[in-house]
Amino acid sequence: MESKKRIIAIGADHAGYEYKEILKDALSEIEVKDFGTNSSDSVDYPDYAHPVADAVEKGEAELGILFCGSANGVAITANKHQGIRAAICWNEEIAELARKHNDANILCIPARFVSSEQAKAITQKFMSTEFEGGRHENRINKITNNHI
Does 17 fall in a domain?
yes
Domain count along the chain? 1
Q: Comparing 8 with 138, which gets the higher pLDDT?
A: 8
Please say if 50 is a catalytic residue. Answer: no
Does 67 fall in a domain?
yes
Whole-number Å distance between alpha carbons of 26 and 8: 13
Q: How many CB atoms lie within 10 A of CB 58?
A: 11
Residue 140: predicted pLDDT:
80
Whole-number Å distance between alpha carbons of 61 and 124: 16
Does 105 fall in a domain?
yes
Q: How far is CA 71 from CA 17, 67, 76, in A?
A: 13, 6, 9
Torsion angles phi and psi, residue 101, rounded to 5: -100, -30
Q: Which of 14, 50, 68, 108 is catalytic?
A: 68
Instruction: Tell me which residue range forms the domain holding 12.
Output: 7-143
Please say if 14 is a catalytic residue. Answer: no
Does residue 144 surpass a pLDDT of 90?
no
Does 79 fall in a domain?
yes
Whole-number Å distance between alpha carbons of 117 and 105: 21
CATH code where residue 130 lies: 3.40.1400.10
Q: What is the pLDDT of residues 85-110, one digit of tens each?
A: 999 999 999 999 999 999 999 999 99
Residue 148: predicted pLDDT:
47
Residue 145: predicted pLDDT:
61
Q: What is the pLDDT of residues 25-82, one digit of tens each?
A: 999 889 999 999 999 999 999 999 999 999 999 999 999 999 999 999 999 999 999 9
Does 50 fall in a domain?
yes
Does 37 fall in a domain?
yes
pTM of the model: 0.92
Q: Which residues make Cβ contacts (< 8 Å) with residue 86, sequence separation at least 6?
A: 53, 64, 66, 74, 75, 78, 79, 104, 105, 106, 107, 108
